[in-house]
Structure 1
């Protein structure tokens, strides 16, 4: 398996170096910067497999960096925040982040989060379904390219949105609980609340457009692909 490259965007030099050395010691390639514009340049010029992105950057902040990256890439993004503010977390998800970690944190915890995202991304890219795709009611998922089309029109999904849609479609017609989604998508002890799941589902429905009703909310149970809400 080829070495995975992690881009660390953190404005505290000491913390940035600690994370870079830690990820390197675990067998990952590590790029680092404390500048939002330089982070965008690195994403453009280098092959990056995952981004660890601090919100509070000088100049171009983490929100803006995330927003711009999402215009061209679905690379997994873990946001770092110094505040345990649920609104910050939800905004990050709305902009396309896949996960968040609140400071202070330990490098092993951050590594575990990164590994989970990278493993789930590799799993979804693996050819494990007939024809490497799913096609249901006008929605077509192609796993090797991680592309989604709705009635033939290509739509852009984040890594987490793609995983949620794939899981719901794989369980077509079956109610999937929030707990099942958490275990499948995040895979570790969850420290958010239902608003986090709801935000991802809302974003996914918005991107599905006229097909948004295919993701049905089942009150006090969860979600189901197929059928009106």
Structure 2
């Protein structure tokens, strides 16, 4: 009886699956270059937010609070800062004197109120942005006139001040009327002759009119060409005289 032969082994080396190998390589690269996740405090300090010292005045206090709130909104949308940590994060940027003010205020609040951003914002505004300042800004908005401002400058100031009168700001008809009343007299009739649903549409029309007014007329262009021709002719004459 002949001896049993061993099964023939392939001379070709065995390789791992190409797809698995590719996934392993990509995973290794991603691990090597993955940026370590930063804490909310590290992110905020990298944004270079300023501390609230207290000598910024009413307008400075308002700008500081609005800037902090906008920053937190962006961070929350990117899942870097939850709403219940807004208050805690803000207190890191209060100066020593105002941190003491907040501690005194917090003694009168419940634990849930202490963590409520709306409560902190209301108390901060009451302390550093008084109603007299808000009323002054509201009056400034009510009586705002374009004057020597460009259409763009007037639009930006009007939009910025409108937040002090939320009742008007929420009504497109009132905003259009208020905006048109403040424009230059020669433009005031546009709103009645042109259908505009919002003050933004009226502003776009003003921009086009302003641009057309700033463009040089055909007579000015022709005069400029003739003036240039006369200067050239004069220069040629002087050049010819200098040859003799």
Whether TM-score is above 0.5 comes out as no
More strand per residue = 1
Q: What range is the shorter-chain TM-score in? A: under 0.3
Q: TM-score, normalised by structure 2?
A: 0.21
More helix per residue = 2
